[in-house]
Chain A
Amino acid sequence: MKSPAHAAPRSTPSSPGFLTRLWPILLVLVLWEVVTRVAANGFFPPPSTIVVRMREMWLTGPAAHLWLSDAALDNFPPSLARLFTGWILAGIVGVVFGLLLGRSVVLARFVDPLVHFGRAIPPPMLLPLLIPLMSIGTPMQLTTIVFGVVWPVLLNTVEGARYVDRQHVETARVFGFTRGQRLWRVILPSATPKIFAGLRLSLSLALILMVVSELVGSTNGIGFQLRESERAFDPPGLWGSLVVLGLLGYVLNLAFFTVERRVLSWHRAAKQTT
């Protein structure tokens, strides 16, 4: 017989509390701290040292600036701006061309090889090629991000637009929907679950490419600062930038998930009832 004390936490296995979900993180932090302290390798500072260094770098500003230091204000906003601009541009390009390719069999047949050719090119490899074309700076970084993250959106949109439920297409035909109605009210909405899956993948890719593009020829940004710490032989500073990137990735994913749940509420509900 099990005691009730053991049974109690099992009764709600699907919705653990906030603190319960936090303990694996704490466990990792503690392990990390212990291992790095024992190893005592300068390249792998313990988390406590990293946190102190992060505070020093970014949270020593005046209260009016939310305590953000100049280093934070100089590097975080440009990075975020590149990330979002690149991602949104790629989203627009991907959705527009994805709808076109998804609905036109002929066009898709012609363009398909090009798409897969382009997708196979590693975006960071574009950087040295882009330097002679554009001045070093934001245009080059944006091109890299857009080129790197457009593919998941494009390919997902193509698939979403191509496989619209036959019954929905026929309903639209029977009731004489115009081209515009078919596109905006039938094809686009039925492709949104796929489009969102693509956008989500692109968002995490955009974060990576943002950093990569800032490592080469940039004068600000998180990637730039990461490079600076490396040059100044400041492992805690380098690790600090990595931690910020990880946190940023987590927050972006969470925000995206929240928006997706709202926009696609019909999708989840319709899937559950049928």
Chain B
Amino acid sequence: MLEISNLTHTYGSGPSAHTALGGIDLRVAEGELVCIVGPSGSGKSTLLRSIAGLLRPTGGRITLDGTPVAQIPDDLAVVFQDYSRSLFPWMSVADNVSLPLRRKGQSRKQRTRSAAEALEQVGLASAGSKYPWELSGGMQQRVSIARALAYRPSLLLMDEPFGSVDAQTREDLEDLTLLVRGLHNMTILLITHDIDESVYVGDRVVVLSKAPARVVGDLRVDLPGPRDQINTREHSDFVRLRGEVGRLVRGVRPSQPSAL
């Protein structure tokens, strides 16, 4: 269980200070997949970096399974947007996936097996000996996902993970995310600026306002499963939800239809 209470963060001080987070409250249950959407510059990445322990927020509290997040939690993995700068180009794909497993106390043999298994789960069974730059963008992001999967985190953070790939690849990766979430009991927090994606992938969609960010909407997504790129997106609940999320992102109150 991830609990965030009254989280604030301000960059800099004095007249040039910029308050990115203006008091965020959020509870995410174990095994839940929560999408966080918000207009660009709404502090989504600041929120994610605070949860990951990469940034020390100026105020508020984050606890993961009861323990406050002060440093980077042990069983946390991140899938960054920029796969080309997150994977190490001087290592093979298999090494990229297996290197983090050292600290899990696995033997070399176990690490190799875990990496191969994770690569198979993302559909890259035969790419282990290749280098990241020999793969397409979508495949590289699959490697990032495999690295996270092999690590068996209890919390997986995804920072606009599909923002740098083409539309078709994006849909494939969304489906991959839905597939792998069932493999291990992970809690997933996915940050996106894509409203449709948030509704399609999430169990819940949390909407942030412009900076200083607050939670302005928290919607449960109850769509009939299994989700499918064509049928789900045609479903009346999907259409209604994406409309609601869209209004919240644009700062229009739901009761008051857009004048445009």
Interface of A with B (CB < 8 Å)? Answer: 165, 167-168, 170-171, 173-178, 181, 185-186, 189-190, 192, 266-267, 269-270, 272-274
Contacts and interface: CB of A to CB of B under 8 A. Distances in A.
Interface string B100-135: 101100000000000000000000000000011110
B54 A269 contact: no
A contact patch SS: helix
Contacts of A273: 84, 133
A170 B78 CA distance: 10
B29 interface: no
A176 B103 contact: yes
Given A269-B131, A270-B133, A181 B99 contact: yes
B85 A168 contact: yes
Given A175-B151, A176-B72, A269-B131, A165 B100 contact: no
Contact of B89 (A173, A181, A266): A266
Given A167-B86, A175-B103, A181-B102, 11 more contacts: A168-B85, A170-B54, A171-B78, A174-B52, A176-B72, A176-B74, A185-B91, A189-B91, A190-B90, A267-B89, A270-B133
A273 B103 CA distance: 31
B88 A176 contact: no
B134 A269 contact: yes
Interface of B: 52, 54, 72, 74, 76-78, 80, 82, 84-86, 88-91, 99-100, 102-103, 131-134, 147, 151
A173 B86 contact: no
A222 to B, nearest CB: 38
A167 B90 contact: no
B91 A167 contact: no
Contacts of B134: 269
Nearest to B136: A273
B62 to A, nearest CB: 15
Given A176-B72, A177-B100, A274-B133, A168 B84 contact: no
Contacts of B132: 270
30 contacts: A167-B80, A167-B82, A167-B86, A168-B85, A170-B54, A170-B78, A171-B86, A171-B88, A173-B72, A174-B76, A174-B78, A175-B77, A175-B100, A175-B147, A175-B151, A176-B100, A177-B99, A177-B103, A185-B99, A186-B88, A189-B88, A189-B90, A189-B91, A266-B89, A267-B90, A269-B134, A270-B89, A273-B84, A273-B133, A274-B84
A175 B132 CA distance: 18
Contacts of A178: 102-103
Nearest to B71: A173
A252 B151 CA distance: 45
B155 to A, nearest CB: 11
Nearest to B49: A170
A168 B88 contact: yes
Nearest to B151: A175
Contacts of A173: 54, 72
A270 B52 CA distance: 27
A174 B54 contact: yes
Most chain A Cβ neighbours within 10 Å, of B54, B89, B100, B131: B89
Contacts of B76: 174
Contacts of A190: 90
A174 B77 contact: yes
A187 to B, nearest CB: 11
A35 to B, nearest CB: 50
A269 B89 CA distance: 9
Contacts of A270: 84, 89, 132-133
Nearest to A268: B133
Nearest to B134: A269
Nearest to A192: B90
Contacts of A267: 89-90
B85 A165 contact: yes
Contacts of A171: 78, 80, 86, 88
Most chain A Cβ neighbours within 10 Å, of B99, B100, B133: B133
B72 A174 contact: yes
Nearest to A263: B90
A235 B100 CA distance: 64
Nearest to A190: B90
A190 B91 CA distance: 11
Nearest to A171: B86
Contacts of A167: 80, 82, 85-86
A273 B154 CA distance: 33
A184 B131 CA distance: 18
